[in-house]
Amino acid sequence: MGKNISVDLALANELFSEKDIEDFNPFLIHSQKNIIERSGTGNEFLGWVDLPYIMLNDKKLFQELEELKNEIQKNNTDVIVMIGIGGSYMGARAIIEAMQYYLPYKLLPIIYLGHHLESAYIERQLKLLENKNYYTIVISKSGTTTEPAIAFRLVREQMKKKYGDAYSQRVITITDQKKGALRKLTNQEGYRSFIVPDDVGGRYSVLSPVGLVPLYLVGIDIRELLTGAYDESKLVKIDCWQDNSAFQYVTMRHLAYQKGKPIELFTSFYPCLFYVAEWWKQLFGESEGKNNLGILPTSAMFTTDLHSLGQYIQEGLRIFFETIISIDNPFNTLTIPSSKDVDDGMEFLAGKQISEINKIAEKATAIAHSDGGVPVIKISIPHISTYYLGALLYFFEYSCALSGYCFQINPFDQPGVEAYKNNMYALLGKPGYEELARKLKKRIEKI
């Protein structure tokens, strides 16, 4: 129960004493109560807590997905276009990018759009789609976000040219049940559609239709993902520190913060987790960074970034701690061959497995960083699989909510992201923003 994720604090001992842990425990218990009893601020967004169980038992969802997948296969689909930004796309991407190297079969190719506004990228993807047979999934809870709305308009026009009126049969939307422009468009055009639950915010939505629909359609076993998350969800009610890995992780984050380390560096020697790190950054950054508080989430992938950030990590300002995501039993088929006839100075590695060398690199680095004054928290999963990634995502969601409540903030809102959006709307001439536009234009002239 909740044992899929383990937290090792052997290299973080400068952060804590037994007394520190004891003193922090009441905050954890209170935060846990906020979640279990739905009594904390932002409690209208606690729907993620039971999502794994609810989704696993949603027979209608699985049936609809199966029918859709069969249709997509029957129509010789080359690629899925997934349009969304932030919490509406990051979770699915994290799983797809991580699992693509670990599955014995190929996933249906996917093209991401709507997650930024770089014209050259968008144009290249649209060009690529001209000769492809595709379905488009559009994901937006609000249904009004600029980047995905622009991308969908472009794709929609292209689809109309290619498929005529039948284009709408190739569009799947995931949005609010009643509100927003995307819901309106869905009803008008007759797109097939799934609902984003009201009580689940974007960054907590990967285990809802937001993540599950694209994942299923490209070929990820979402039952495995949900089962991993469900098994991990039993952690929510464990109130014993030694048995609750999320308690251990959250305690260390807060003790590091209290001891002048307000930055967390998420690292891994498995770069397939790059987008898991991106997802994690959004989860913690958007949840905790408010009221002038919170730990800044950053990330690096090793060994790659040891050749760029390594120097700073080892000897720069001591204002951060590191959280290494480790894999107990990494995938392992490559062995270094012997090469006696060519002397490249690496013969001492002959016969060793690459994964063994990577493991040693991880241990050597963790010790070096810890010796250099960077506390290292190690979070391990047994191996990379859909099941364990489901467990890991849930572990972080729960830890993030707990940690946010320990900061006494609302972990489920994001009032700060409106500031740039309002400025952008005003400068682009959106109706209703005239006064702000006038003020901003004066300021822009001076820059």
In whole angstroms, give the CA distance from residue 11 to residue 14. Answer: 8
Q: Which of 4, 136, 140, 370 binds ligand PA5 (CB under 6 A)?
A: 140
DSSP annotation string for 176-200: -SS-SHHHHHHHHHT-EEEE--TT-
Catalytic residue among 147, 278, 286, 322, which? 286
The 3-state DSSP class for residue 84 equals coil
Ranges within 279-308 binding ligand PA5 (CB under 6 A):
286
Q: Is 286 a catalytic residue?
A: yes
Q: Which of 82, 85, 379, 409 binds ligand PA5 (CB under 6 A)?
A: 85
Applying CB under 6 A, which part among 85-93, 163-171, 264-272, 397-405 lies near ligand PA5?
Answer: 85-93
Segment near ligand PA5 (CB under 6 A); pick from 80-88, 253-261, 354-362, 430-438 = 80-88
* Residues facing 263 on adjacent strands: 296, 320
Cα–Cα distance measured from residue 272 to residue 250, given in angstroms and rounded to the nearest whole number: 25
Pick 141 or 359: Cβ nearer ligand PA5: 141
- DSSP code for 260: T
Q: Using CA atoms, how far apart are residues 216 and 41, in angstroms rounded to an integer? A: 33
The residue among 202 and 390 lying less far from ligand PA5, judged by its C-beta, is: 202
Q: Which residue has the tokens 């129509």?
A: 75
Helices marked H in 204-346: 209-218, 222-233, 245-258, 274-288, 310-315
CB atoms < 10 A from the CB of 90, how many? 26
Segment near ligand PA5 (CB under 6 A); pick from 38-46, 81-89, 326-334, 349-357: 81-89
Contacting residue, 4, 31, 145, 399, with ligand PA5 by CB under 6 A: 145
Candidate residues 4, 251, 323, 414; the one interacting with ligand PA5 per rule CB under 6 A: 414
Q: Is 133 exposed, middle or buried (0-12, 13-18, 19+ CB in 10 A)?
A: middle
Choice among 178, 237, 421, 439 that is catalytic: 421
**Which of 86, 214, 294, 411 is close enough to bind ligand PA5 by CB under 6 A?**
86
CA dist., res. 384 & res. 362, Å (int)? 16
Near ligand PA5 by CB under 6 A: residue from 41, 43, 133, 142: 142
From the list 112, 111, 108, the residue with the least C-alpha distance to 70 is: 108
Q: How far is the CB of 41 from ligand PA5 (least distance, A)?
A: 16
Task: Check 307, 340, 442, 446 and give the catalytic one.
Answer: 307
Output the smallest distance, CB 223 to ligand PA5, in A.
Answer: 25
Distance CA 275, CA 3 (A): 24
Residues of this chain, 184-213, that bind ligand PA5 according to CB under 6 A:
201-203
Nearest to 144 by CA among 175, 107, 104: 175
Provide the mask over 21-60, with x wherever binding to ligand PA5 is found by CB under 6 A and - wherever it is not.
----------------------------------------
**How many angstroms separate the CA atoms of 201 and 363, rounded?**
37
Q: How far is the CB of 45 from ligand PA5 (least distance, A)?
A: 10
Joined tokens for residue 147? 């980047």
Task: List all residues 6 or more positions away from 341 whose beta carbon is below 8 Å from its beta carbon.
Answer: none
When the beta carbons of 175 and 370 are compared against ligand PA5, the nearer one is 175
323 touching ligand PA5, by CB under 6 A: no
Q: Give yes or no: 307 in active site.
A: yes
> Cβ closer to ligand PA5: 148 or 411?
148
DSSP string for residues in 134-149: EEEEEEESSS--HHHH
Instruction: Considering only the stretches 84-92, 296-304, 373-381, 439-447, report the one whose residues sit in contact with ligand PA5 under the rule CB under 6 A.
Output: 84-92
Residue 145 CB, shortest distance to ligand PA5, in Å, is: 3
CB nearer to ligand PA5: give 417 or 444: 417
Query: What is residue 233's DSSP assignment?
Result: H
Kindly state the number of chain residues that form the binding site for ligand PA5, as judged by CB under 6 A.
Answer: 14
Element (H, E) at 268: strand 263-268
Q: Which residues are catalytic?
A: 286, 307, 421
Binding site for ligand PA5 (CB under 6 A): 85-88, 140-142, 145, 148, 201-203, 286, 414
